[in-house]
Amino acid sequence: MTLTRDLSCFNINTMSNMAYYWLGFLLADGHFRYNKAIIPTIELSVELSNKDLEHLKKLLIFLGRDENSYTTRIRQTKVCSFIQTHVSFRISDNNELVKLVKYFDIHTNKTITPPDITIYSQLTKIQKQCLLIGYIDGDGHLRNKRGSCDGKLECHASWLNIYNLFNSILQTQYDVKEYFRKDKPGKSSVILYLSSKDIFSLFEVAIKEQLPILERKWSCINKALNYIPQYTQKETMLLKQQVKDLRLTNTQSQLSALLGITKDRVKYIYKLLGKDDM
């Protein structure tokens, strides 16, 4: 494998907030292998599902590589024998990556040997936020839940200190919980929960800093903003009659206030009235 010519994007003295985003992502989804040759090198490899190919291309571009310099691999899962397509790349470097791994204390077996938090604690708040956003795109779970969002991070229990560091910059600071896994006796994990307020706040940072977030993961925000609660048929019929009686003398905003429903619900009832030719 040839060495990468330039990885100045990860120069530890000039790292941008974008670089901290990708560092967070690589802490979650990257694999670092140390090659103790005459000239020490670090081999970085990343493998993602094919559905995240565009994200992999963005990372390659950030690293100064051709966006098409990836390989495609088809795998059969052990469970249910599903066929999955994965995309990946590997690069090797004897300069910036070596310094990055040493400075940020990144280990080859980082799943059970997390970095020491000392250097991470010294980062600015915005750097920590970008780091966390990248980590979420790698290992986080975000979901839409009845007009709101929530999420969680879960990892080996050895990451407790890192998760507490992440928790310190969140608006809603839940307790970081450690639990023993029923599916793996003797093994424990740590969980950090994310509130809707946290997710929206981090999303605002991502937009402001123009971070290349994984769109499918953060789509829960759009789903939450466009959520229309489900009403029973009886409730919908009652609302239709109320809106029909009041709409001639009230605006949609006034109807929303009078009936205690959202403007989106008012618009929806208008559409129903139109369909029924009422």
- Asked if residue 240 is part of any domain, the answer here is yes
Please tell me the total count of domains within the chain: 2
| Residue 149 and residue 239 in one domain | no
Q: What is the mean pLDDT of the chain?
A: 86
The answer to whether residue 197 scores a pLDDT higher than 90 is no
The answer to whether residue 228 scores a pLDDT higher than 60 is no
| Residue 174 and residue 141 in one domain | yes
Which residue range is the domain that position 157 belongs to? 8-225
Question: pLDDT tens, 62-114?
Answer: 999 999 999 999 877 666 667 889 999 999 999 999 999 999 999 999 989 99
Task: State the DSSP string of 121-167.
Answer: HTS-HHHHHHHHHHHHHHHEEEEEETTEEEEEEEEEGGGHHHHHHHH
Output the CA–CA distances (angstroms, integers) from residue 11 to 14, 122, 171, in the order listed: 6, 17, 30
Q: What percent of the chain has pLDDT over 70?
A: 86
Cut 0.85: pTM above it: no
pLDDT at 219: 86
Rounded (to 5) percent helix, strand, coil in the chain:
45, 20, 35
Question: pLDDT tens, 198-213?
Answer: 998 999 999 999 999 9
| Residue 94 and residue 211 in one domain | yes
- Asked if residue 1 is part of any domain, the answer here is no
pLDDT at 59: 96
| Residue 56 and residue 186 in one domain | yes
99 neighbors 12 (Cβ within 8 angstroms): yes
Distance CA 234, CA 196 (A): 31
- Asked if residue 160 is part of any domain, the answer here is yes
- Asked if residue 60 is part of any domain, the answer here is yes
